Structure 1
Amino acid sequence: MNSKNIAIAGEITPSKTIIPLIQRLNELDKEDKLNFKINKIYGLYHGESSKLLLEPYCDELYDIGQGRRGQKKNSTAKLAYLISRDIIKAFNALKGNNIDLLITAGNAGDVRKSIVAANLLKIPILHIEQDIYNPIEVISHANLVTVPKEDYKDYLERKYNLKNVASIDGYPMAKYVDNHIKDNNLIDKEEIYGEYGVKEFVLVVLGGDLKDDEIEPLIRSVEQLNLKTLIAPYRFDRNLVESLVLSPNIKVLPQYVDLLSFMNAASHLIYAAGMGLTIEAGVFNIPSLKIEGFHKTHGSVDLARELNIPIVKIDEIPDAFEKLSAHQDNNLVKNSEIAIDKLVDLINGFDENGLQKSGFKSTKQIWNSRKVFR
């Protein structure tokens, strides 16, 4: 039986998508149920948080740079330099390790860097896409692209002329969240209640779908609820957020906290973020409001509607909150297990020679479509 070296690349949310797949592959490997033996797994991480997530599942780890969302905008020349530098990091990480397959997920810079490097080294690529409306252009150079449902497969083929797209019928990340809960990795609710002096609270998460000048109107809108509230600043400066708060009901959390634990302890969730937090809200089945962001068309918008999560403008929060109810029962976790099994089947039968890459025409089509998000 042949052995394979697998490389994985991801930021935080993509890492949570890939981890349950790696867990399943390792289980099947121990049971000799794969068509190959896993030799080593190499992790290409994007930031310290993703390093911590990937570390338990990788034999070796390589830093390929930092994400630049929410940072000061660089000039085109400076940005090109930084990306090129990180592509070289990814190239050096993959080179010489006899990688048989690179697995990527998401639509951030780690995907661009690792796929470009893998193409230079002629390494086969499997990309797991979740936000089909705004994919990163280099997925056109992956051998195989997977999507969460059949409609999305049709969309990518029609919109971007992508070849070799497969539906896996679910979101693998939901399994990560479910495992995290079952493995008792959450901070005890009473500990959170005690530390912040609240027994019941609304959790507000300031994610990447929010602009700087929207923070103050959002806080004013949340203050109208007159409820105990904890704000997770996440991508925004904590001191800035705290300076805008007027109500004694609102406390601002440290820059980065274990959001899953706070979500588990909260009575309600209000968030301005994308796919990752929408999946997490769905698994916890917490009554939630998703703030309408600049991404009007987004995979997370589709999923939020499926989960009965209202999508509201900032000034609509008080009225929408009064009508808020629990989600409808959903099959996120069940479908994530189906998706993982389908990914395993695709990897088991992966034939790079029979999987033609879509090429530069598709690259250009995706690039032109992404202009609306810049």
Structure 2
Amino acid sequence: MYTLSDFDFDLPPELIAQTALADRTASRLLDVQGTGSDARLTDRHFSDLLECIRPGDLLVFNDTKVLKARFHGHKASGGKIEVLIERLTGPRTALAQIRASKSPVEGTTIRLADAFDVTIGPRIEPFFTLEFPDDCLTLIEQYGRLPLPPYIAHEADTNDETRYQTVYAANPGAVAAPTAGLHFDDPMLAKLDAAGVRRATLTLHVGAGTFQPVRTEKLDEHKMHTEWYDIPATLVSAVAATREAGGRVIAVGTTSMRALEAAARDAIRAGAPAGTLRAGSADTDIFITPGYSFNIVDRLITNFHLPKSTLLMLVSAFAGYDTIRAAYRHAIDARYRFFSYGDAMLLTRAPQTPDHA
């Protein structure tokens, strides 16, 4: 059984991308073919993606949009606080993380961005309920700040407000970007369409839990935060048509992967055959580690992930543990850029085998 230490690696800090490239498709792409010691690693540019996929393949994108979810503010006592909206729960309510010297008490108010007051509602561990005085999405977008990941050292600026969103972002609700999608621009999407590559979208609102560290050596003791996803009927039809035509389902990012596999897992639990995808919305805390049997996704476009992270465990489950170790060693030696603003890799699903003992 794998443990947390199996997913550690040394990353030179200068390889953590701090800014986005001016041209989205100018990032590098590590094309990983095969598995284990036989894996073939090819250095490409992301603009070469069309050479790696076929007409009739289906790209599945996550169309979530990142909220301006970070606020600075203060309590009535004057104590400073920092708020990160985690999830919208209603027109005027949200769940949030609050960082303060002393946790605020239910029923008290806090002032955000020196602009408006919110009331503290019931605690839903590890979050606080916030009650807004007006439509929370409007207030968040007007007064909030974009929540860049903790490993990016600068405060979000106007360039980040464009580049930390995908060009197809449509449904507000995420607090982190589905970063594999940041490499696509409108001309590339048009080329994919012209080449006969299918496209479909789902929505998974990425939560701050995507950056939550795993603190236990035993992976099965780690608890994932839940995230909301929606699988539209058009996507279900597109997956079925792709399968029937012999195409491959390619998830753009681990968030698309998690939504697809969570929906398939729920269908199996409801008595459907493996590989069934059903339309609908739900919350998921799916935690994919080596030994997981994939149901929907054949290939995965993804960025390079943090050591000891749940996302590194997911890609290791998908492409094979040894394959990912080899790919990451190559990426470090070849000076690829890591994490949200970094480069990408294209993975193929490994043969399904049980976790090693």
Higher-helix-fraction structure: 1
RCO greater where, 1 or 2, for CA within 8 Å and sep 6 or more? Answer: 2
- Asked if these proteins are the same fold (TM beyond 0.5), I'd say no
TM-score by length of 2: 0.29
Higher-strand-fraction structure: 2
